[in-house]
Amino acid sequence: MGKLTRYLSWKDWLFVAFILGFTVLQVYCTMLLMDYISGITSAIQYLNYHNDPESFFNTLGLAALYEPYRNVSPFPWNEIVALAKSMGLSGTALSSLESVANASTGDIWYQGGMMVATATGMVGCQVVISLLASYVSADTSTKVRQALNDKVTDFSLAEINKYSTASLITRTTNDVQMYQMTVLVIFRMFFAAPVTVIWAICKVQSVSWTLMWPMVVGVVVLVLVLVLTMVFAMPKFTRAQKLLDRVNGITRENIVGIRVVHAYNAEDYQEKKFKKTNDALTKDQLFTSEAMALLSPVITLIMNGVSLAVYWIGAYLIKDKTTDYAQILSTMMLSTQIIMSFMMLLMMFFLLPRAQVSAKRINTVLDSSSSITDPKEEALQSETGSVEFRHVSFAYPQGDGNVIQDISFSAKQGETIAFIGETGSGKTTILNLIERLFDCTEGEVLVNGVNVKYLKQKTLHSLIGYVPQKGLLFSGTVKSNIAFGDLSLSEEEIVDAAKIAEADSFIQEMPEKYDAPIAQGGTNVSGGQRQRLCIARAVAMKPQILLFDDSFSTLDFKTDHAVRENLKSAEKNATKLIVAQRIGTIMDADKIVVLSEGKMVGYGTHHELLENCPTYRDIALSQLSKEELGL
C-alpha cells in the first residue's frame, strides 16, 4: 500500500499532519478523562470519609487519634491534621488525611465539569479526524482510480488480453474501494491505537510496576494470536481476490452471451461453471471469516483476564496500604484503553490483508508499461492517405506462430483496397496493425510514408476512421455518438455524415431525431442501424484513411451498395481498406488482397483474380453464378 502514497497531494499530506496532531490531542483528552474519572471517584470517597470520620480513621489504623474527638461537633479536621503532623505522620497516610479534611461537594462538581470538558474535546477531535480522513481517503482513491483508467486507456490490446477485461474492471472498482476503506480506517483508528497504548502503558508504569505486568502479558499473547491468524489467512485473501475476478468474468460472459446461452439451452452448463467458482470463493471467504471471528472472543478473554489480574493484584496492594481504590480504578480503565486499542487494530487486521492484495493488484497495473509507446520525436509525413505493408509478419504474444506472414501491398490516396479470405486468415489483424493496436514482429507498416512506430498514437489515430466488425455505440444520444471523435462538429456535419452512412432516414423517424437516446452498447437499435451509426461516426471525422472491418455484413445488399456509392462520391479522397466476406461488397475495389492461412495468395483487381487466383475464384463462385461474374 505504501507505493500508492505517491497519489497523496500536498494538501492531503497537510491533512494527514492535522490528523496526527488531532489524534495526539484526542489521546491526551482520553488520558485526562481517565484522570478526572479517578479524581471524581476519590472526591466522592473523600467526601464520604469527611462525613464519616470514624470509618476513615479505622481504615488508616489511626483509631487512637480519632478517639479523643469522637463526640466533638463539628469534627475538628484541621486540628487533627496539625496534631498528626506534630506526631510525625507523613507519606500516603498524611496525604489522605489532608484530602479528607479538605473534601467538599465543590471538588465533585469541579471533577465532573472537567470530565464533561475533556469528553467534549475528545469527541470534537474525533469529528475533525473523521472529516479529514474521509477527504484524504476519497481524494486519494479518486486519483488512483483515475490513474488506473488512464493507464488502461493507454494499454495496447496485448496488455488488455494479459489482464482480462473482468480483472481490470475488478481492480478499478472493488480493489480501489477496498483501498479507500482501509485508508479511512487507518487515519480514523490505526493512528490512535499505538499512541494510546504507549501513553497508557507509561501512565500505568508511573502508578505501579506491579499492576503493569498483567497488561504486558496480555499484549504479548494478543500479538502472537494476531500474527498466527494472519499467517494462515493471508494466502486465502490473495486467492479470494483472484476467484472474485473469475466470478466477475463468468457473470460478464453469461450476461453478454445470454442469447447464445438460451439458444443452446446451456443454462445448466453456465450455472455449473459459476457454481464451481462461487463455491471455491465461498470456501475461502468462510475460512478467512471464521479465522477472524475467532479473534473477537480471544480478545474478550484476554481483556477479562487482564481485568481479573489487575483486581487480584490490586486487592493485595490495597491490603498492604501501598495503593488505594482510585488508583486501581485508574489502572483498570487504562488497561481497558490498551485492550480497546488492540481491538481497533483487530479491525485493521480484518482489512489490511485484503487491502494489501488489492494494492498489489492495483500497483501491478499502474507499474505496467504498454508495449506500444510513442517516439520521442515524430517523423514528418511525406504522403497523404497512403498505407503500405512491406514484408509484414505478426505473431500474437504467447502465440504458437505467425498469424500473418510476409504481407506486402500498398494503397494510395483515394484508392480502395479490399481483403478477403477464410475465417482466421488474418484480415482483422492487418487492420489492427495499421491502427498500431499491435506492432508487427517483422517488416514495416507505413502510413503516409512513415513507419507507424515513428508516429505518435494520437497523430496516427487522427488520420484513421475505424468501423469495427461488431458495431459498438456508447450511452448518450445519436448526435453524441456520431460526433464521438470530434465533439466540435456542427449539426450540418453530423447530418451529412449520417446521410453518407444511410442513417439519416431511420434517425428522422425517431421521436427526438438526432437527440434520441442511445443505450450502452447501442442495444436499443437494430444491428443494421447500429452499424450505420458506426460508419457515420467514422466518416464524420473526415479521416484520410477509412478502415472497415467486415462492417457491411449486417447491411442488406441495397443499403450496402448505397453506402459504398455514397462513400465513393463523398469520400473520394479518403483511402478505404475494406475487410469483407461478400464478393459484391469488394468487386469494385481498386485492388483485392486474398488471404489464406495468413499468407497472400492473390493480389489484383476482381477480374484479374478470377483469372489467376483459384482461391478467389472458388470464393466468388460460392456466392455468385458464372453469369453474374461474367465467366
Res 350 pLDDT > 70: no
pLDDT of residue 347: 66
Share of the chain above pLDDT 70, in %: 92
Complete DSSP assignment for 566-605: HHHHHTTTSEEEEE-S-HHHHTT-SEEEEEETTEEEEEE-
Complete DSSP assignment for 262-305: HHTT-HHHHHHHHHHHHHHHHHHHHHHHHHHHHHHHHHHHHHHH
Provide the pLDDT confidence category of residue 321 given band limits of 50, 70 and 90.
Answer: low
Which three three-digit cell numbers place residue 143?
Answer: 486519483
pLDDT of residue 140: 87
Lowest mean pLDDT, pick from 131-140, 301-310, 461-470? 301-310
For 305-315, what is the mean pLDDT? 77
pLDDT digits (tens, 9 = 90+) for 434-483: 988 888 888 899 999 889 888 888 888 888 888 888 878 888 888 888 88
Lowest mean pLDDT, pick from 309-318, 321-330, 366-375, 559-568? 321-330
pLDDT of residue 1: 67
For 354-358, what is the mean pLDDT? 76
pLDDT digits (tens, 9 = 90+) for 240-295: 767 777 887 787 777 767 767 776 677 787 788 888 888 888 888 787 777 777 77
Provide the pLDDT confidence category of residue 570 given band limits of 50, 70 and 90.
Answer: confident
Res 630 pLDDT > 70: no
Alpha carbon distance 489, 474 (integer Å) = 17
Alpha carbon distance 213, 211 (integer Å) = 6
CB atoms near residue 261 (< 10 Å): 17
Provide the pLDDT confidence category of residue 323 given band limits of 50, 70 and 90.
Answer: low
CATH architecture type of domain 469-542: 3-Layer(aba) Sandwich (3.40)
Provide the pLDDT confidence category of residue 196 given band limits of 50, 70 and 90.
Answer: confident
Most confident option among 40-44, 86-90, 550-554, 597-601? 597-601
CATH architecture type of domain 2-366: Up-down Bundle (1.20)
pLDDT digits (tens, 9 = 90+) for 500-542: 888 888 888 888 888 888 887 777 888 888 888 888 888 888 8
Evaluate whether 380-463+545-604 and 469-542 have a shared fold: yes
* 18 vs 183, more confident: 18
Res 601 pLDDT > 80: yes
Res 322 pLDDT > 70: no
Residue 85's identity, in one-letter code, is K
Q: Residue holding cell 484480415?
A: 427
**Side-chain half-sphere of 322: how many Cα atoms within 13 Å?**
11
Expressed in angstroms, the distance from the first to the final Cα of the chain is: 71
Res 342 pLDDT > 80: no
pLDDT digits (tens, 9 = 90+) for 142-167: 888 888 888 877 777 777 767 777 77
Res 544 pLDDT > 70: yes
For 342-352, what is the mean pLDDT? 69
For 62-69, what is the mean pLDDT? 79
* Residue 346 near residue 212 (C-beta atoms within 8 A): no
Share of the chain above pLDDT 90, in %: 3
Q: What is the pTM of this model?
A: 0.67
CB contact set of 336 (below 8 Å; sequence gap of 6+): 303, 307
For 75-82, what is the mean pLDDT? 84
pLDDT of residue 631: 63
Rounded to the nearest integer, the mean pLDDT of the chain is 81
Domain locations in the chain as residue ranges: 2-366, 380-463+545-604, 469-542
Res 339 pLDDT > 80: no
Alpha carbon distance 235, 531 (integer Å) = 47
Res 115 pLDDT > 80: yes
Note the CATH number of domain 380-463+545-604: 3.40.50.300
371, containing H or E segment? none
Provide the pLDDT confidence category of residue 5 given band limits of 50, 70 and 90.
Answer: confident
pLDDT digits (tens, 9 = 90+) for 38-60: 788 778 878 888 888 888 788 77
For 390-407, what is the mean pLDDT? 84
